[in-house]
Amino acid sequence: MKKLRQTFLSLPFSIIILSIFTSCSSGTNAPLVKASITSDLDIIISPEGNSWTINDHTQNPKLINSNGIQNWKDPNTIIRTYVKLNASGELHIGLNAKSPTGSSKIKITVGDKSVEYTLKDTEYTILPIDKFPINTTGYHYIEIQGLSKEGANFGDIKDLRIGGSATKSGVTFVQDDFYWGRRGPSVHLSYETPDKDIQWSYSEITVPEGEDTIGSYYMANGFAQGYFGMQVNSPTERRVLFSVWSPYETDNPNEIPEDSRIILLGKGQGVTTGSFGNEGSGGQSYKVFNWKAGNTYRFLLKGEPSVNNSTDYTAYFFAPETEKWTLIASFRRPHTFTYLKRLHSFLENFSTNTGFIGRKAFYGNQWARDKEGNWYELTNAKFTADATARKGSRLDYAGGSQGNVFYMQNCGFFSNNTPMDSQHSRSANGTPPTIDFNTLEIPSL
């Protein structure tokens, strides 16, 4: 009887203890969660290379910098940090954060689970947030949103910390070269060409609706000394771009000696010409043209030896809206005596603000024409990617063939990529393009 009485006396105390711990683990800043994941948050992810404001990408430079996430004031701002996980399981998440102007409440979401957390620390502190289930391998995002605040900002986040079983088989994220990591991987198709003197290169590009992301360069006719394609430059401006590199290697066009500068031979109506730098230097031309996603555009490039050990390159563009070939520009490259070499296409993102958004294009009907006038259809290509992909910083890249066209895709943090250096073939169309070369505008100044 005494033993039974002791059991009943201890029961209310047990219920009280259980109630306390249940309340803490289901509420904000649960101490049980802190204790269980604090020692496991050993992977540090910098927002500078891995985070974006997804609902207004123009805010990225204002909120995300080398110090992490700052100036975070708007509760409508949604910030996502992307990581690729090679295993399913638990993902433990923490923040290295502070809230110097007063406490704030934020929400952290991974998949279907959201957790609210109150930031109170006035100095940077590693704050264990919670455990989140990961059911599939591949890219995932950690979403953060401000809910309420006492001060001017929701707080500053220097970095994110992750751990847990979902990270034990490897994690992919951008760890250095943040500028290139934010732009995302560039992808290329190098075409197999006949051993001939190729004078003309022809190809077509179709960008599907919804894949015309700001910052995209869909390059159609690339060659050893330059490139020719179309871009999305802003919400209101699109361009057809043709550039030729100088034989003098520099990122500053002002350093190019006079005898190595690209010479403009002529340009089409409404075309702007000048020089370019930063990724090599040379002559550049572009025409502002509001090309449309879903339409197919045609690109024609001529390259042939010229006077005094030089080569002339001329680009023409055909839009279904105008139903005619228009001259973009013609450049002379000194210290070069060649026909077209290394024909290729590429897809790149040149905006760090939109590296989290995907883009895709179909590249088709590639042909080469030799100096004797013979056409050769190009149906084989090698798929490659840039250093961002090769070093494993970003793995959201793909390319290959679909029927009678090739395709390339990058950015957007999709999980299924294409092996680099893989070979691909498209089915042949069999009929070369019909072009009246005698009606093409002759370049002149």
| CATH label of the domain that carries residue 119 | 2.60.120.260
DSSP H or E segment with residue 14? helix 2-26
User: What are the start-end ranges of the H helices in 233-362?
Assistant: none
Gap between the Cα atoms of 182 and 396, Å rounded: 12
E-assigned strand segments in 29-112: 43-45, 51-53, 64-65, 68-69, 78-85, 89-98, 104-110
Judge if 371 and 353 occupy the same domain. Answer: yes
Does residue 23 lie in a domain region? no
Residue type, 440: L
DSSP 255: G
- 294 shares its domain with 357: yes
Identity at 274, one-letter amino acid code: G
**What's the number of CA atoms in the CB half-sphere (13 Å) around residue 312?**
14
Phi then psi dihedrals of residue 163, to 5 deg: -165, -160
Residues 236 and 368 occupy one common structural domain: yes
Nearest to 379 by CA among 369, 366, 368: 366
Q: Residue 231 is part of a domain; what is its CATH number?
A: 2.60.120
Beta strand spans in 281-323 (E)? 282-288, 296-305, 310-319
Residue 59's CB: how many other CB atoms inside 10 A? 18
Classify residue 7: in a domain, yes or no.
no
Q: What residue numbers bound the domain in which 278 lies? A: 181-439
pLDDT at 50: 99
In a domain, 1, yes or no: no
Residue 261 CA from chain centroid, whole number: 32
**SS3 breakdown of the chain: % helix, strand, coil, rounded to 5?**
15, 45, 40
9 lies in a domain? no
DSSP-derived secondary structure for 37-57: HGGG--EEE-HHHHEEESS-G
Residue 262 and residue 332 in contact, taking contact as beta carbons nearer than 8 Å: yes
Q: Which residue has the tokens 């296409």?
A: 345
- Does any domain span residue 13? no
* 273 and 210 belong to one structural domain: yes
Same domain, 38 and 186: no
Please name the residue that has the structure tokens 């609706």. 209
Backbone phi and psi for residue 228, each to the nearest 5 degrees, phi listed first: -150, 120
Domain final position from 173, 202, 231: 173
Q: 168 and 191: one domain? A: no
Answer yes or no: is 194 within a domain: yes
**DSSP secondary structure letter of residue 28:** T
Cα gap 27→31, rounded to integer Å: 10
In this prediction the pTM is 0.90
- Say yes or no: 334 and 353 in one domain: yes
Q: What pLDDT score does 281 carry?
A: 76
Whether residue 167 is found in the same domain as residue 188: no
Quote the number of domains for the chain. 2
In a domain, 3, yes or no: no
| Same structural domain, 97 and 188 | no
Which residue, 150, 173, 196, sits at the end of a domain? 173
Distances in whole angstroms, Cα of residue 202 to Cα of each of 179, 222, 229, 298, 315: 33, 10, 12, 7, 10
Please indicate, yes or no, if residue 141 is contained in any of the structural domains.
Answer: yes
Q: Are residues 84 and 111 in the same domain?
A: yes
Residue ending a domain, choose from 173, 198, 229: 173
Same domain, 60 and 200: no
Which of 330, 230, 226, 228 has the alpha carbon at shortest distance from 273? 330
Each of the 445 residues of the chain gets a pLDDT tens digit; together they read 333 333 333 333 333 333 333 333 334 565 556 656 777 999 999 999 999 999 999 999 999 999 999 999 999 999 999 999 999 999 999 999 999 999 999 999 999 999 999 999 999 999 999 999 999 999 999 999 999 999 999 999 999 999 999 999 999 999 999 999 999 999 999 999 999 999 999 999 999 999 999 999 999 999 999 999 999 999 999 999 999 999 988 878 888 899 999 999 999 999 999 876 666 678 999 999 999 999 999 999 999 999 999 999 999 999 999 999 999 999 999 999 999 999 999 999 999 999 999 999 999 999 999 999 999 999 999 999 999 999 999 999 999 999 999 999 999 999 999 999 999 999 999 999 999 999 999 999 8
Tell me how far CA of residue 143 lies from CA of 44, 217, 316, 337, 391, in angstroms. 16, 28, 45, 54, 26
Residues 44 and 169 in one domain: yes
